[in-house]
Structure 1
Amino acid sequence: MKKLVGLFIIMCICACQSSKKQEIIQQKPAQGKFVVYQVFTRLFGNTNTTNKPWGTIEENGVGKFNDFTDRALDEIKSMGVTHIWYTGVPHHDVITDYTEYGISNDDPDVVKGRAGSPYAVKDYYNVDPDLAVDPANRLAEFEALIERTHQHGMKVIIDIVPNHVARNYQSISKPEGVADFGENDDTSVEYKRDNNFYYIPGEAFQVPEFLNGYQPLGGDNNPLADGKFDENPAKWTGNGARLAQPGFYDWYETVKVNYGVKPDGTYDFDLLPEGFNREDYKAHFEFWQDKDVPDSWEKFKNIALYWMEKGVDGFRYDMAEMVPVEFWSYMNSALKMKNPDAFLLAEVYNPALYRDYIHKGKMDYLYDKVELYDTLKHIMQGHGSTDNLPAIYDGLEDIEHHMLHFLENHDEQRIASAGFAGSAEKGKPAMVVSTCLSTSPTMIYFGQNVGEPGDGDMGFGDETRTSIFDYCGVPAHQRWMNNGKFDGGELSDAEKELNAFYRNLLSFSAQSAALMGDYKEIHSYNRQNTAGYSDKIFSFVRWNGDNRLIVVSNFEEASHKFQLKLDEGTVKALNITDGLYKLTDQLTNENEFVLEVKNGKGKVEIALTGLESFILKMDLLADLVE
């Protein structure tokens, strides 16, 4: 759903940037980078290989919380993972009948897919019943998973979707005294500050006109699939559509939450004072203590605190930029007061808003999507140039630690898919650059490590992306699972090699002090001064005290040989003197090279095969002999 909003916001460009680095909100790890493993929880442990389009939970199977066994968590941890983002945990609309557990059936006319969108949350105080062996005990099963994850030395992240909820939101698990979203709304008016939703008085909701031959559940019979859904008066739809009958491409399964933003776009709440972006979360928390805030603010803060009490260590916020930054100041400061190390990650696609959401909104991390990811994707597809990479880092230098890097997630195409690169191997140089470029966290999506291509139309979801709406198995990932052994026993040789590459890269990044230090690109100098060095190669250095790395990646399938050069400024920045230095590749611990530094400049002979990268650790060999 987020792609539609992205079309009109990603064109915005940050007009001004601060040259002075502001506070680092999230404490950097003492050594090494944070590594986030995003897993679509419903799919992770499913061993069923049927993959029937629009298949039921009985036909196609479903993964459970209990599939994250000690063995599975050990294997995830071996990739250097520090945080697991369990995607799709809060109870969202599903088609499977759970009425025997007191859960009302959901209407296929306003549910996307048979398994439902994880971003149409129906009950924020419980979890998806699909994920439990015993749906009546589903919350306890998730709490046990939180505990297992912690026992394996990793932290837990779940989704919060602040901009919208399911059209039929109804919590049967809320604590005593908590009112549901919309329960106390005045539905006779379009807007009131403490209403949770926006209304279209006098008009009833109408199911959208389905296009392209689409039928709910693929046309299967269901008593609720009658082209009707009872909602009167109609509410605004999640993406802001204000018609009683939203369009097929609107987020029609959801309703937009009101944060005190009037229909004309003006605000009905206190604003942060000028210069408050320089204040820490404690000052932000104090600012809101005597302020009267809209009801939706309080509701979502309490939801987040509820999950923190359950042991959740952080949140990934869906479409955070569609919610006012003042709300984030209010909520995130309260969460930081509860847990200063909480990991707060936001989906923000507008570069002009990055610094506001970090410094005012107290976000720890934002997606680096529209700049780094999009540029790397273009290069991987054979169209783009690595000459475009240095400016990205330079433009984000003051906030580089806050820009989370990734090559796959649940919204994006799989690298190996025909719509992206057509080969998982083409992701290897990009993953090295994405991982090693900055001090920010790196995220990997489950199945990426074994080259899952996301093939097959499972129902509402589309090919090239692993479906988040349907019951299905994930074939390459299933081969890695090997029926619960989690030893990669069914992988092909190529998949095993790819898995080893990701494990080596990410586990190294989680331990490398150099990757938490300084950065300097050497690409531009070599483009001008090195024969055989092209715009399909990228190189830079990283250092932290005596820990020094040279990183060089080849984005082409053709081999390249050249003499990589370090200019005087780079040699000085690395604090090295004339001499010979052994360079050992940290991806293989086999490839070794010799860097010669003479008269304040360095050079090393490099031979890269197609799509190969080196992360070269520097050690002094001997003084240079004249």
Structure 2
Amino acid sequence: MPGWVEHAMWWHVYPLGFVGAEREALAPDAPPAHRLGHLTAWLDYVVELGLSGVALGPVFASATHGYDTLDHFRIDPRLGTDADFDAFVAAARSRGLRITLDGVFNHVGRGFERFADVLRDGPGGPADRWFHLTWPDGAGPGTEPGYRDFEGHHALVALDHDSPEVVDHVVRVMTHWLDRGVDGWRLDAAYAVPPAFWARVLPRVRAAHPDAYVFGEVLHGDYAAVVREAGFDAVTQYELWKSIWSSLNDGNFFELTWTLSRHDALLDTFVPLTFVGNHDVTRLASRLTDPRHGLHALALLLILAGTPTVYAGDEQGLRGVKEDRAGGDDAVRPTFPPTPAELVPGGWSVYHRHQELVSLRRRHPWLHRARTQVLTGTNRTLVLRQHAGDEALLVALSIEDEAVTLPVPGASGTLAGDGTLRATGDRGQLELPPHGWAVLAT
């Protein structure tokens, strides 16, 4: 993993939704819509939040939602032009912010050039090697073959990852945009791509860009094995995401402590990409049954080991429920106002709490690889010790309806939260109000 990632914390943005782009691609003869400046206007907001980079969702030319790519080498005209993108990169760089892009390399849209060649030329053409195709008897030019798609979505044509042409194409795409100034890649649907494909691609990319950060979207399974076999720096920690909100909702911190034992074990191989919200899931504020527990989740995100990611809007307490239907992502991918000054007032208290905990994380970069020791655990109270070498912090959480006093051995002061230390040192005692939390120095 590149050394700079120890200090990385991302603001994750879904650009097409953020800027209010059309649902479908612009007509071929339509001028581009120069909307990336809308996102540039929020970069100071990201800096003031304390985060160190922007993790962009899809920005390449696509048919609809960004994940049906038409051209990996062209910025989506609904967002702007290459020049607009270069200006955005320069603006981020001038503020010390890094950038990752969303690489959709498991599948493409039906209008992708090589698949258009297949539909035009029929069987036997060089583009056949890019896809998993089955041709009907007597097929000729203009015949549509059967093809493997992505999870039953017929508009998403799966690439053939055994094809040398596909390997070469993905290497060219990744290298091209790293050459243009980005710092890394999120690999979409990496769980659907054979790890051996990435093992062929990534060494060639890293030969030109050894400091690039590459993480894969993996939902479940043996995360460490995938990292070893594919050569990723990290994968998305969905187990921890689920355990955080589920344990808070169910009043069952034992679920979380079990997950933390698995999380700790991952650190022997890699440091996961951690989050409590993203563009594919119901927002945290809507997921939690008790809104007071949003800060508990945030404290866990920023104190536990990992490379933390804040999904744009969660730092304002935005709500949104993902639904399994056409347009079901819209509520979690809303349009943002032209500038932060136009946000509704109610979310700024949540923003300031994010600032507080992001600042704490920046002062303790060793938390990136910190191990977790459970000091006290019940269904509804939890005290964790995060430690690395001689460094340590404590995190205390309660979702009880009454005030509680918890043992916090070694505590020397309160760094964040709303707890009150009644005693310090080996016999440390912390009083938490109902549904309270605190981060403690040792």
- What TM-score do you get using the length of structure 1 for normalisation? 0.63
How far the C-alpha of 1:489 sits from its partner, in A, is: 6.1
**Who is 1:176 aligned against?**
none
- Cα distance in 1, alignment partners of residues 138 and 233 from structure 2: 41
Given that 1:38 and 1:87 are in contact with CA atoms closer than 8 Å, whether structure 2 keeps it comes out as: yes
Q: Which amino acid aligns with 1:188?
A: P
- Cα distance in 2, alignment partners of residues 231 and 508 from structure 1: 60
- Cα distance in 1, alignment partners of residues 103 and 24 from structure 2: 28
Q: Which amino acid aligns with 1:561?
A: V
Structure 2 residue aligned with 1:146, among 66, 79, 89? Answer: 89
Change (3 A) 1:617 1:165: same
**Who is 2:372 aligned against?**
520
Structure 2 portions without partners, runs of 5+: 27-32
- Cα distance in 2, alignment partners of residues 563 and 37 from structure 1: 34
Cα shift readout 1:216-254 (whole Å, capped 9, x = no counterpart): xxxxxxxxxxxxxx97322424226xxxxxxxxx21211
Structure 2 residue aligned with 1:510, among 346, 349, 362? Answer: 362
Cα shift readout 1:504-543 (whole Å, capped 9, x = no counterpart): 11232133144145433234xx34xxxxxx3122221123
Does residue 125 of structure 1 match 2:125?
no
**Who is 1:251 aligned against?**
153
Given that 1:586 and 1:614 are in contact with CA atoms closer than 8 Å, whether structure 2 keeps it comes out as: yes
**Who is 1:334 aligned against?**
204
- Cα distance in 1, alignment partners of residues 274 and 414 from structure 2: 25
- Cα distance in 2, alignment partners of residues 90 and 302 from structure 1: 14
**Who is 2:218 aligned against?**
348
How far the C-alpha of 1:491 sits from its partner, in A, is: 1.2
Structure 1 portions without partners, runs of 5+: 1-24, 94-115, 133-137, 171-179, 206-229, 241-249, 261-292, 528-533, 572-580, 619-626
Structure 2 residue aligned with 1:73, among 13, 23, 43? Answer: 43
Give the secondary structure class of the aligned counterpart of 2:250. Answer: coil
**Who is 1:431 aligned against?**
298
Does residue 188 of structure 1 match 2:123?
yes
Change (3 A) 1:615 1:403: same
Q: Which amino acid aligns with 2:344?
A: E
- Cα distance in 1, alignment partners of residues 34 and 423 from structure 2: 50
- Cα distance in 2, alignment partners of residues 237 and 611 from structure 1: 49
Q: Which amino acid aligns with 2:134?
A: I
**Who is 2:30 aligned against?**
none
Structure 1 residue aligned with 2:344, among 486, 490, 495? Answer: 490
Given that 1:203 and 1:234 are in contact with CA atoms closer than 8 Å, whether structure 2 keeps it comes out as: no
Given that 1:92 and 1:119 are in contact with CA atoms closer than 8 Å, whether structure 2 keeps it comes out as: yes
How far the C-alpha of 1:461 sits from its partner, in A, is: 1.7
Change (3 A) 1:496 1:396: closer
Give the secondary structure class of the aligned counterpart of 2:174. Answer: helix
Given that 1:163 and 1:238 are in contact with CA atoms closer than 8 Å, whether structure 2 keeps it comes out as: no
Q: Which amino acid aligns with 2:143?
A: N
**Who is 2:172 aligned against?**
302
- Cα distance in 2, alignment partners of residues 423 and 55 from structure 1: 37
**Who is 1:12 aligned against?**
none
Given that 2:304 and 2:370 are in contact with CA atoms closer than 8 Å, whether structure 1 keeps it comes out as: no
Change (3 A) 1:411 1:203: farther
- Cα distance in 1, alignment partners of residues 82 and 117 from structure 2: 24
Change (3 A) 1:192 1:328: same
Query: Which stretches of structure 1, 4 residues or more, deviate above 6 A after TM superposition?
Result: 54-57, 191-194
Given that 1:45 and 1:63 are in contact with CA atoms closer than 8 Å, whether structure 2 keeps it comes out as: no
Given that 1:514 and 1:542 are in contact with CA atoms closer than 8 Å, whether structure 2 keeps it comes out as: no
Structure 1 residue aligned with 2:111, among 159, 165, 168? Answer: 168
Change (3 A) 1:192 1:490: closer
**Who is 1:379 aligned against?**
247
Q: Which amino acid aligns with 1:502?
A: H
Q: Which amino acid aligns with 1:82?
A: S
- Cα distance in 1, alignment partners of residues 294 and 153 from structure 2: 31
- Cα distance in 2, alignment partners of residues 498 and 297 from structure 1: 44
Does residue 40 of structure 1 match 2:14?
yes
How far the C-alpha of 1:409 sits from its partner, in A, is: 0.5
Q: Which amino acid aligns with 1:255?
A: V
Change (3 A) 1:425 1:355: same
- Cα distance in 1, alignment partners of residues 142 and 251 from structure 2: 48
Q: Which amino acid aligns with 2:147?
A: W
- Cα distance in 2, alignment partners of residues 237 and 139 from structure 1: 32
- Cα distance in 2, alignment partners of residues 303 and 231 from structure 1: 29
Change (3 A) 1:456 1:334: closer
Cα shift readout 1:20-76 (whole Å, capped 9, x = no counterpart): xxxxx443656xx42111111123345x9xx9xx8999xxxx99210133x521210
How far the C-alpha of 1:386 sits from its partner, in A, is: 0.8
- Cα distance in 1, alignment partners of residues 138 and 179 from structure 2: 39
How far the C-alpha of 1:553 sits from its partner, in A, is: 1.8
Given that 1:90 and 1:121 are in contact with CA atoms closer than 8 Å, whether structure 2 keeps it comes out as: yes
**Who is 1:461 aligned against?**
327
Give the secondary structure class of the aligned counterpart of 1:68. Answer: helix
Given that 1:163 and 1:322 are in contact with CA atoms closer than 8 Å, whether structure 2 keeps it comes out as: yes
- Cα distance in 2, alignment partners of residues 409 and 608 from structure 1: 30
How far the C-alpha of 1:327 sits from its partner, in A, is: 1.4
Given that 1:541 and 1:549 are in contact with CA atoms closer than 8 Å, whether structure 2 keeps it comes out as: yes
Q: Which amino acid aligns with 1:81?
A: L
Given that 1:521 and 1:540 are in contact with CA atoms closer than 8 Å, whether structure 2 keeps it comes out as: yes
**Who is 1:541 aligned against?**
385
**Who is 1:273 aligned against?**
none
Cα shift readout 1:353-397 (whole Å, capped 9, x = no counterpart): x2232122111111111x2111222123x2251112233232243
Q: Which amino acid aligns with 1:120?
A: D
How far the C-alpha of 1:298 sits from its partner, in A, is: 0.8
Give the secondary structure class of the aligned counterpart of 2:394. Answer: strand
- Flag the structure with larger Rg: 1
Q: Which amino acid aligns with 1:552?
A: A
- Counting strand residues as a fraction of each chain, which structure ranks higher? 2
- What TM-score do you get using the length of structure 2 for normalisation? 0.87
Does residue 584 of structure 1 match 2:414?
yes
Does residue 357 of structure 1 match 2:226?
yes
Given that 2:216 and 2:234 are in contact with CA atoms closer than 8 Å, whether structure 1 keeps it comes out as: yes
Change (3 A) 1:87 1:464: closer
Given that 1:563 and 1:603 are in contact with CA atoms closer than 8 Å, whether structure 2 keeps it comes out as: no
- Cα distance in 2, alignment partners of residues 473 and 456 from structure 1: 15
- Cα distance in 2, alignment partners of residues 204 and 605 from structure 1: 80
Higher relative contact order (CA 8 A, sep 6+): 1
How far the C-alpha of 1:552 sits from its partner, in A, is: 1.0
Q: Which amino acid aligns with 1:375?
A: S
Given that 2:190 and 2:218 are in contact with CA atoms closer than 8 Å, whether structure 1 keeps it comes out as: yes
Give the secondary structure class of the aligned counterpart of 1:340. Answer: coil
Give the secondary structure class of the aligned counterpart of 1:520. Answer: strand
Change (3 A) 1:406 1:200: same
Cα shift readout 1:466-510 (whole Å, capped 9, x = no counterpart): 24xxxx635xxx4xxxx52x2466312xx2211111121123213
- Cα distance in 2, alignment partners of residues 34 and 515 from structure 1: 12
Given that 2:186 and 2:215 are in contact with CA atoms closer than 8 Å, whether structure 1 keeps it comes out as: yes
Change (3 A) 1:361 1:64: same
Over aligned residue pairs, what C-alpha RMSD do you find? 3.4
